[in-house]
Structure 1
């Protein structure tokens, strides 16, 4: 719902989505209080109380200063340069997170749930399930790593089709997009091989 109607009605850009689920407690909850006997057997046969949780997923805008670099002064065990990430959530994302939390609490309470508690665990970049960037696709080799076919500008026989080529995934699961770009890149590679270009 935040992704519809443009950005004019709020103080941040883009939108977010939620994932969540419900579950019941189980016999493990009884272990601390009951160690044996009839009480434990009776407790094990009764399902625990319901809990419901939601997690917000919001877009991180593709800021030019969010980047990673290779550190040739600090090598790994195989003599290769290590990677240094320099990225952070900025004002837009922090405002979005506040709206995510408040909207989730509001929806759950309006749905009739009780004892709703919102929280922000202040997670950082790199802890999400679909991180993007670091090998940006673009036309200019000075500002991007890959061309429009997911091919390295400087090494044409190397294609990159994971999430690194995308500067942003919006707030939806990008897996189908990866698959589509991978199919397209594979087709391009086959055609280039047939022409003898790679």
Structure 2
């Protein structure tokens, strides 16, 4: 299964589907609603996607690919200092959430709607992303910048970062970098 497709039109349709899934939820979004949002006939939708499940998988896969790319670039362009790497990952995560918000909201809240085949296919991307975080958290734990159980620390950090999609106002007084710095400051052992 490979739902990523380089077609510009398919990417645009995926973006529109993500927006609709966020507004209506996956279950309440019909094929007719998707086609209307995309400006095509219902039957034409199946020229680009096999079914609604494939659209969901495409939305999540594209968002996760982007998140992984941004995170890897952030780590590559960062010093080996554990604190700098922790800040870089937090900033990268927030950058991903705020530049590709709809895809990430869909991934966070609709992952459970994926069929088993799509879920298994996309799990490698989630696992690769989480592995980057585990490496950064392990380094921070070893340097005694943070304390606690690695599993709980990683869930706490990712949970806090992910929840910002619910309350953060990009036009407000705090930038995503400010937010990332504040989170890292809160979890660091003093």
TM above 0.5, one fold?
no
Bigger relative contact order (CA 8 A; separation at least 6): 2
TM-score by length of 1: 0.28
More strand as a share of residues: 1
Higher Rg of the two aligned structures: 1
Write 1 or 2 for the structure with the bigger share of helix.
Answer: 2
